[in-house]
């Protein structure tokens, strides 16, 4: 297997992990908490989900052949809670966005990676376009996790190695015990 195919496969795994991380965080809050904001400048989890799904739909639909900023995208509307926004519609758009992404990436060949695609009339290699979105999605998934963790509070269940459980985690994986590090 060549480097290009290995790269595509790894990106698909990393994006699946991001999706799973976001959904694991969202599953720990009540549906109405999706719309919670702390102030006028904070996006709710619902808004972040709308933005991600709108971005994915625009970027990955007809990925190799059309500009990644589709003329039918209304980006500004992604940052407004509409009257028809509810958990069901949010998750429908969320899954649709990820479907576009996984179908587009799954159809790529190693040769496609050096092709040029355009996002907002700016040329990118496919490698660059993928990396751009991988970073963008990682930032927003981190926001979702942070907000959900705050909202779940004492009910939060860690999505990674729980605080204070590194030794237990390492032992379960057959790793040698390491002495605890003192914080500086």
The residue extents of the domains of the chain are: 3-171
* Residue 37: pLDDT band with limits 50, 70, 90: very high
Q: Report pLDDT digits (tens) over 112-147.
A: 999 999 999 999 999 999 999 999 999 999 999 999
Contacts of 9 (CB under 8 A, 6+ apart): none
Distance CA 60, CA 119 (A): 11
| Residue 89 to residues 50, 65, 85, Cα–Cα distance (Å) | 10, 28, 6
- pLDDT higher than 80, residue 180: no
pLDDT at 104: 98
Contacts of 5 (CB under 8 A, 6+ apart): 109, 110
pLDDT at 183: 65
State whether CATH 1.20.120.450 applies to domain 3-171.
yes
pLDDT at 41: 92
Distance CA 125, CA 106 (A): 17
Distance CA 154, CA 181 (A): 26
Bigger pLDDT: 175 vs 179: 175
* Residue 8: pLDDT band with limits 50, 70, 90: very high
Any bridge partners for residue 125, and if so which? 116
């Amino acid at each position: 297997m060549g480097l290009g195919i290995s790269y595509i496969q790894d990106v698909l795994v990393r994006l699946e992990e991001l999706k799973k991380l976001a959904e694991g965080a969202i599953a720990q809050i009540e549906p109405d908490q999706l719309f919670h904001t702390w102030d006028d400048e904070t996006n709710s989890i619902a808004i972040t989900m709308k933005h991600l799904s709108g971005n994915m739909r625009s970027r990955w639909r007809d990925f190799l052949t059309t500009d990644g900023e589709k003329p039918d995208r209304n980006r500004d509307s992604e940052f407004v809670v509409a009257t028809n926004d509810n958990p069901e519609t949010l998750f429908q758009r969320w899954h649709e966005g990820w479907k576009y992404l996984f179908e587009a990436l799954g159809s790529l060949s190693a040769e496609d990676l050096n092709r040029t695609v355009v996002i907002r009339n700016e040329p990118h290699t496919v490698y660059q376009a993928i990396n751009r979105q991988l970073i963008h999605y990682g930032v927003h998934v981190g926001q979702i996790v942070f907000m959900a963790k705050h909202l779940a509070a004492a009910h939060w269940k860690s999505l990674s190695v729980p605080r204070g459980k590194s030794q237990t985690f390492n032992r379960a994986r057959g790793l040698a015990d390491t002495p605890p590090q003192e914080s500086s």
